[in-house]
Chains A and B, each alone.
Chain A
Amino acid sequence: MSLIEPGGIDCDIHPAVPNLRALHPYLSDHWRDIVVQRGVHELESIAYPANSPLTSRPDWRLPDRKPGSDLDALRAHALTPFGTAIAICNCLYGVQLLFSEDMGAGFARAVNDWIAAEWLDKEPRLRASIVVPMQNAELAVEEIDRVAPDRRFVQILLLVMHDHPLGKRHYWPIYAAAERHGLPVGIHAGSAYRHPVTPLGWPTYYTEDYAAQAAAFQAALSSLVCEGVFTKFPGLKVVLLESGFTWLPAHLWRLTKFWRGLRMEVPWVDRAPTDIVRSNVRLTTQPCDAPPTPEMFQRLMDHMGSDEMLLFSTDYPHWQFDGDAVLPEGLSRDLVRRIMIDNPRDTYSRLTETAA
């Protein structure tokens, strides 16, 4: 285990909406009426079944509440033990999964206002990502413009699987808004389940669903690069959240090789994909699908070719590691400092303006 650096920045924690009732005060009259009249169910995605071991570390489960839904517990589990100075809340309540664009927008708004009031107002170490209705880019931009003036919101949150590959122009207004506000776009594991999570159909097991997230991130990265998102928005920072990262070098080898052979198809991709990703894309450290030995991990870090890409995360309350083994073995002190402090600060410009 590598020693952690106090004062770190945890780039992926998950405060949970305890239940739909908790959002009632933040919904408009219309959507609150709809919830009651139509008997709207909880918007819990199948991505995290309540009792699945991955959904919460055993010692982070709460006796009578959903994991991640209690601020005191979050302080005691996620902030204090790791000496965390700042943690970024990525709320995974499934508002992006609704088919109605307007309903998605109404609920995203409620989630953001709930996060601000119930978490950010109460705990100064917390920051949050803006939840947006991915169903409609125009409505997503409206929500970004509404929330962004609150500087405690430091990122825009997307799911890695939705209606379309994330590089498509459908989503460009969101990237334009991100650049305009100086906000990175965080892409988190998860799906709206518009399509099966594998190219071969709906898998049998939850294990396969979670395994497929890594492939989905690979595809999303291909899409963002090939569609020219980073050419159009050169200042855009994209953070892959709960993506795993050990797949990255092999994916870039392949993408860059085919770019050499097929540049005529995507002439706007004017640099090698490897270079684009190294300058514009960051990844969080949990889950760490690490090789079996520290020597192999060291080789893998060489393949990454950059010490600026990884951002510290616990993925609280998801069960990715035990005890305080939050970092992979074999990291130098210098690299730990970069991962826990320097890289997050370089990525999220709003952290330095408020936490300096």
Chain B
Amino acid sequence: MNVQVTSRPAVQPAATSKLAIADGDIHPQRNSYKDLFPYMEARWVEMAKTFGSRPRQAYQAGPAYPKGQPNASRRDAWPPGGRPGSSLPFMQKQLLDENNIQLGILNPTGDNGASFQNREFGIGVASAMNRWVEAEWLIEPRLKGSIVVPYEDADAAVAEIERWAGDPRFVQVLMVTRTANPPGQKQYWKIYEAAAAANLPIGVHAFGFGGYPVTGSGWPSFYIEDMVGHAQSSQSFLTSLVIEGVFERIPNFKLVLIESGFAWLPPLAWRLDKLWHRLKQETPHLKRAPSEYIRESVWLTTQPMEEPLPREHVLDAIDWIGWDRLIFATDYPHWDYDDPTQVLPMPLPEQQRRDFFFNNAMKLYRQGQAS
């Protein structure tokens, strides 16, 4: 974050600076729609110019909750003449080189077509996003792509997955936590089946505009509530997938929850287990306790890293989730960026540190050699 946090250690742990890092959440951003035009059909270029994106929210540009910083970005992440995240050379230097990031997962979130009110237009834009990422970002071998899919139209999403499934530079299918309907419902299953068939995890990034308020009691007033609310959205997302039986029905289904924190997961699993025991007769399609599906098939990225006082309490949460299930992430270039030298300041066994910062992502995304 762009603030001095109270418990930040003065000295960086020496070992961390030498570690190879895998970053599970990097945001490439376009400067404007124009960047996409070379990759869009002419009719969608006209649509973009004439009517704009028309997402499921009020404003044409920018959310109804003003962000914490301009473009929700680090103040130092603006490349000369462009928006944060818009320049590959700048990102290579500021993020990849400086932090020794060997693997970075690109998540092109934001105005990416996935949930536009005009579904056909959205399909066109989502498709263009993937072509743009391929042509302008995946030329850097340390970066790998997430396939943007128009998930409110499962057939179109499947077509997009199949278009890229054979390209090893794409390692994940991208959704967001704010779907228009509970994501475990049948209308979405084809997407998960196609991802599993292509051996790709579904990465679910916090945010998005599904149409419903972020709380069951209506729209809150503040950006801080929306941000904190991503953890509740993620809980709902995971609950829907578990209780609808997606993990049971689709072998090889893997889920990565991105940018929604992680410490909420153990208490949710305890609650779901208890409820499942009590209410089993409602969900006969579930053969095992919810926590077992979660332990087997769910990963989480770490940013924004929980920072309890004392900081050591967060180690309990990681113990309960499993040290093999967390994927370090920076969220570059956003303002609440996590610095790999700062997120786990406490002493740790070397292997745990390597798994957390590197190996888990390398294994999940089937990249090269772990350390």
Binding site for B on A (CB under 8 A): 52-54, 160-168, 191, 194-208, 210-212, 214-216, 218-220, 222-223, 226-227, 244, 246-247, 249-251, 253-262, 265-266, 274, 287, 289-292, 296, 299-300, 302-303, 319
Contacts and interface: CB of A to CB of B under 8 A. Distances in A.
B224 A219 contact: no
Contacts of B2: 261
Nearest to B184: A204
With a 10 A CB-CB cut-off, give which of B68, B183, B215, B221 has the most chain A CB atoms.
Answer: B215
Contacts of B276: 207
B33 interface: no
What are the nearest 8 A-B pairs in CB distance? A250-B263, A219-B215, A198-B236, A289-B271, A215-B232, A261-B1, A161-B217, A197-B216
B224 A303 contact: no
Interface string B241-284: 00110000000000000000101101110111011101101110
Contacts of A200: 177-183, 210, 212, 233, 236-237, 240
Given A253-B314, A303-B313, A191 B216 contact: yes
A208 B182 contact: yes
B217 A219 contact: yes
B3 A261 contact: yes
Interface in B161-201: 177-185
A207 B279 contact: yes
B216 A215 contact: yes
Interface stretch (B21-29, B76-84, B301-309): B301-309
A215 B306 contact: no
Contact of B306 (A226, A257, A262, A266): A257
A231 B141 CA distance: 52
A204 B308 contact: no
Nearest to B3: A261
B282 A194 contact: no
Contact of B215 (A165, A300, A302, A319): A165
21 contacts: A191-B216, A194-B218, A199-B212, A199-B236, A203-B236, A206-B282, A207-B276, A212-B239, A215-B216, A219-B229, A219-B232, A220-B215, A247-B264, A250-B231, A254-B264, A259-B224, A261-B336, A262-B222, A287-B271, A289-B267, A290-B274
Contact of A211 (B185, B272, B307, B316): B272
B286 to A, nearest CB: 9
A199 B274 contact: no
Nearest to B315: A299
A196 B178 CA distance: 13
Interface in B341-369: none
A214 B270 CA distance: 12
Interface string B58-76: 0000000000100000000
Given A163-B218, A205-B243, 7 more contacts: A165-B217, A201-B180, A207-B282, A226-B221, A244-B267, A250-B317, A254-B231
B35 interface: no
Nearest to B223: A265
A162 B220 CA distance: 12
B227 interface: yes
A67 B179 CA distance: 38
B210 A199 contact: yes
A180 to B, nearest CB: 25
A222 B220 contact: yes
Contacts of A215: 216, 232, 235-236
A262 B224 contact: yes
A161 B217 CA distance: 4
B223 A262 contact: yes
Contacts of A218: 228, 231-232
Contacts of A54: 275, 278-279
B5 interface: yes
A158 to B, nearest CB: 10
B220 to A, nearest CB: 5
B38 interface: no
A260 B6 contact: yes
B140 interface: no
B6 A214 contact: no
A47 to B, nearest CB: 12
A163 B213 CA distance: 11
Contact of B279 (A206, A223, A296): A206
B270 A226 contact: no
A220 B213 CA distance: 13
A53 B282 CA distance: 10
Contacts of A290: 270, 274
A246 B222 CA distance: 25
A205 B231 contact: no
With a 10 A CB-CB cut-off, give which of A196, A227, A256 has the most chain B CB atoms.
Answer: A196
A258 B283 contact: no
A199 B233 contact: yes
Given A258-B227, A260-B1, A289-B271, A211 B232 contact: no
A284 B183 CA distance: 31
Nearest to B304: A257
Given A204-B184, A205-B283, A165 B221 contact: yes
B225 interface: yes
